[in-house]
Amino acid sequence: MAGSALKRLMAEYRQLTLNPPEGIIAGPVSEENFFEWECLITGPDDTCFGNGVFPAKIAFPTDYPLSPPKMQFLCELFHPNIYPDGRVCISILHTPGDDPTGYESSAERWSPVQSVEKILLSVVSMLAEPNDESAANVNAAKMWREDRKQFEQIADRLVRKTLGLPLTATS
């Protein structure tokens, strides 16, 4: 099983290197182990996460691509669909069977023809448009719904933190 997973991951790595999507860099942590990847995602422009550069790691199972990988941000992020420890909760990382709440029935699910590139593009659009129906971070979902201004301030502060800039805007 691991043999075909490795082959598929190498093919995806080659594809991402030759033809990288805008704002995304991804690849294995070391070429010794293709099942642990690191990636950098830039926040989508014109959103409160704009200009941010967010590091994350992706862990692949040995039966990839039949089972989806797991993704976790390595920086602090305040977002309805990201757990406080950085794990990402998004429909494309779930197999059709494992959604007991039925929230994501219409959304895109994991299937063996999905890929790292598609996951990362989905994560970028998730940053721009949170899904507050199935919240991983309830506080963030509540604030996003009820107090957008404060939510944007927190996001801006975290963006500055990842970039190593002063925490408040200098005007």
Partner 1 sequence: MASHESQMPSQENSDQDDSDVDDDNFDYYGEDQFEVAMYENRDDRPAGTSYRNADADPIDPEYFEYSCLQICDVERLLNECVEALCHAIPVTPALAKVLLHNHKWDVASLIRRYKLNCHLLLVETHIKPPKPVAPSSTGQRFTSCPVCVRSNLAYSELRGLACGDQFCRSCWVMHCASQLAQGASTAIECMEAKCSLLCPEDFVLKLLGDRPDLRAKYQHFVFQDHVKSHPELRFCPGADCPTVIRSKSLQAKRAVCKTCSTSFCFRCGIDYHAPTACATIKRWMIKCADDSETANYISAHTKDCPNCHACIEKNGGCNHMQCAKCKHHFCWMCFGDWKTHGSEYYECSRYKENPTVAQEAVHVKARRALEKYLHYYERFENHSKSLKLEEELRGKIKQKIDDKVNNHQGTWIDWQYLHDAATLLTKCRYTLQYTYPYAYYMEPGPRKELFEYQQAQLEKEIEELSWKVERAETTDRGDLENQMNVAEKKRLTLLQDFFDK
* Interactions with partner 1, residue window 151-170 (CB under 8 A): none
Say how far apart CA 153 and CA 150 lie, in whole Å: 5
Scanning 43-51, 65-73, 139-147, 152-160 for contacts with partner 1 by CB under 8 A, the matching segment is: 65-73
Q: How many CB atoms lie within 10 A of CB 106?
A: 8
* Interactions with partner 1, residue window 10-49 (CB under 8 A): 11-12
Which CB sits closer to partner 1, 118 or 157?
A: 118
The 106-145 contact track toward partner 1, x by CB under 8 A, reads: --xx-xxxx-------------------------------
Scanning 2-10, 70-78, 122-130, 140-148 for contacts with partner 1 by CB under 8 A, the matching segment is: 2-10
Q: What is the signed CA dihedral for 107, 59, 113, 101, rounded to 10 degrees? A: -30
Sheet holding 24-30, edge to edge: 24-30, 33-42, 53-59, 70-73
Q: Binding to partner 1 by residue 66, rule CB under 8 A?
A: yes
Say how far apart CA 132 and CA 124 lie, in whole Å: 16
Helices and strands counted in the chain (H then E): 4, 4
Contacts with partner 1, residue ranges (CB under 8 A): 1, 4, 7-8, 11-12, 63, 65-67, 95-98, 108-109, 111-114
Enzyme catalytic residues: 89
